[in-house]
Amino acid sequence: MRRPATLSAQFLGVGQGGIARAARLSVKALQECTDVEALSVQDRQCVTIGRISVSSFSNHRLRFVFANTAHLLRGRRILYDFPGTARAHPPFLRSRQPYALWIHGIEVWGYPTPRPDYFPAVRAADLVLANSEYTLNRAQEYLGPLPRARQCWLATEDDDEPPVIDGRSATPPTVLFVGRSDNLFAKGQDILIDIWPQVVSKVPDARLVFVGGGSHLHKLRDMAAASPARENIDVRGFVSEAQMDGLWRDATAFAMLSEVEGFGLVFVEAMRYGKPIIASTNDASEEINVDCVTGYNLARNRKSDITDRIIHLLKNRDDAAALGRSGLGRWKAWFRFSAFQRRFDQATADWLGEHA
């Protein structure tokens, strides 16, 4: 039996973003190898992950710090969801109770600027889990070598395949985007809206569907409303998990031309649903999406190339379906929960060690 562990995170609820998803994956994986508990700083409702009931602190940060310290004093190893939370680790306990943390992307390597206040927490960690090779390399550009870092790709939260979905369905040719519209606005929403009139000129019934909330959703709605192709653009905003099956089913392809992805969990979800992917070459997207195999990776500034690829997929459903099948195969091999479990176990084995 490995040492008992606690996962300390900002959020652990469903629908709270990629960092929360990685934290949930970690809790599920830890359940299989050790005694695990979980603490959440900001969740306000009851959260359950597998057989674990999360202790939530409703943003009472001092109470969280006390609870986190109590877990350390009980001899538990702490895994933090990201460097910001790891700042709660008391310096006087670092040598007695080494900790681990995840690094995910721009919170370390910065966009538009890095967070140097996070750097000490990363450097002091006994284990640094990086969600991709890209994230690890970018982090080391700012922090220098991280010899205790291990790469560990993320995954979906289970091994279940969705119902069989044919990419050649009778629905209108549709490109789906899933992602938040925040102040950075760096996931390519503007690129897709900008090229959509050219897409519609070749595929008149083509639909562009945006899913996801965010503080700057109003900006996305305004951009869509100003487009000459506005009748072919649908901004849904936040959509529940229960509604996503239908949106994935109706999509011909998935597109997100981001420059801030440290991994891109939504690409894994697109593969699970057998959808070809249009991604960028500007971040970790091309590490997950294999160019000309599971979709296409294109430079964000090559709008004509992006337009041509989208038009090709919308006009050639058989080609889109073939790329989607390759994506489904890649998900089965690399991005199911069981694949993550194996990677996570290997990455954390020395840190957790054996417990009498």
Residue ranges, CATH 3.40.50.2000, the chain: 5-157+336-352, 174-335
Q: Which helix (H) or strand (E) holds 330?
A: helix 317-330
Residue 128: per-residue pLDDT = 99
Q: What is the pLDDT of residues 185-225, one digit of tens each?
A: 999 999 999 999 999 999 999 999 999 999 999 999 999 99
List, for residues 116-139, the tens digit of each pLDDT value. 899 999 999 999 999 999 999 999
- Residue 77 pLDDT class (50, 70, 90 cuts): very high
User: In sequence order, which residues have a C-beta less than 8 Å from that of residue 202 and are 6 or more positions away?
Assistant: 311, 315
Give percent of the chain above pLDDT 90.
Answer: 87
Q: Average the pLDDT over each of 160-174, 217-231, 256-270, 272-286 and give the range with the smallest value.
A: 160-174
pLDDT number for residue 167: 54
Q: Considering the entire predicted model, what is its pTM?
A: 0.94
In whole angstroms, give the CA distance from residue 57 to residue 67. Answer: 10
- Structure confidence at residue 327 (pLDDT): 98
pLDDT band at 354 (very low <50, low <70, confident <90, very high): low
Q: What's the CATH superfamily of 174-335?
A: Glycogen Phosphorylase B; (3.40.50.2000)
pLDDT of the residue at 143: 94
pLDDT surpasses 60 at 316: yes
Contacts of 232 (CB under 8 A, 6+ apart): 196, 200, 205, 206, 207, 208
Are the C-beta atoms of 22 and 154 separated by less than 8 Å?
yes
Write down the residue that tokens 């992917």 correspond to. 277
| Domain 5-157+336-352 grouped into CATH 3.40.50.2000 | yes
pLDDT at 326 > cutoff 70? yes
Identify the helix (H) or strand (E) that includes residue 130: strand 127-130
